[in-house]
Amino acid sequence: MSARVACAILAAGASRRLGSPKQLLPHGDQPLVRLAAECARQSRATACAVVIGAHADAVRAALGGLPVEVINNDAWSEGVASSIRTACAWARRSCCDALLVALCDQPRLTAFHLDQLIGEYEKSRTLTASRYAGKNAVPALFPKAYFGALAALRGDAGASALLNGPASVSALPWSDGEQDVDTATDAQHLRPESVLARCMRVGPR
């Protein structure tokens, strides 16, 4: 049975290691944050939002014209947990069955992968994660039963403890998750690829 899934892209960080807003780095013909938002919008998610914080005005401008909600996280300096809490509160307001959390700094994110996670959740009705680098990680889908645990997160640790703890997790292998953008060296690996081709690619590279 189809589930009502809220998909939130986390894009509130200050990019301190990079030294400039990673959300705005160009990848193909769009900045990373817009690419991630496009992937969410092209997926089967019922509702889509981007959580912003640091560099809020510039990131909001980069999302201009997209039919996604843009949500301010005033506590962004605390770390990623504050953005997850913000996304969780939005998912509750959206009356969705589950929250799919993704990041703006994984340039190989696709709508296809997000749909795979949604499809797996519809079968298992349990925590559903991407698996790479030897652990379960985001993008990951959290059923409504876990919203309380998400709302209790603090600091910069994210939801790794939930995804790699004792709870049952349905994990989908996704080696593309190993590429993210944290440093200037990472940024040099971004490739000039069309945003539409990136979001809609549906098979092996």
Condensed to tens digits (0 to 9), the pLDDT of residues 165-191 reads 999 999 999 999 999 876 667 667 665
Q: What is the DSSP letter of 27?
A: E
- pLDDT per residue over 138-161, tens digit each? 999 999 999 999 999 999 989 999
**What is the per-residue pLDDT for 18?**
75
**pTM score:** 0.90
Q: Does the pLDDT of residue 205 top 50, yes or no?
A: no
Q: What is the mean pLDDT of residues 102-114?
A: 96
Where are the domains positioned within the chain?
5-197
**What is the per-residue pLDDT for 184?**
65
CA distances from residue 8 to 55, 105, 186 in whole angstroms, order as listed: 18, 13, 23
The two three-digit tokens of residue 193, written as one number:
């690829």
- Per the prediction, the chain carries an average pLDDT of 90
The Cα 113–Cα 110 span in angstroms is: 5
**What is the per-residue pLDDT for 127?**
98
Superfamily in which the 5-197 domain is placed by CATH: Spore Coat Polysaccharide Biosynthesis Protein SpsA; Chain A (3.90.550.10)
Other beta carbons less than 10 A from residue 115's beta carbon = 17
pLDDT confidence bin for 198, thresholds 50/70/90 = very low
Share of the chain above pLDDT 70, in %: 89
Q: Is 75 helix (H, G, I), strand (E, B) or coil?
A: coil
- pLDDT per residue over 77-94, tens digit each? 999 999 999 999 999 999
Cα 186 to the center of its chain, rounded Å: 18
Q: Does the pLDDT of residue 38 top 60, yes or no?
A: yes
The Cα 38–Cα 48 span in angstroms is: 9
Residue type, 144: K
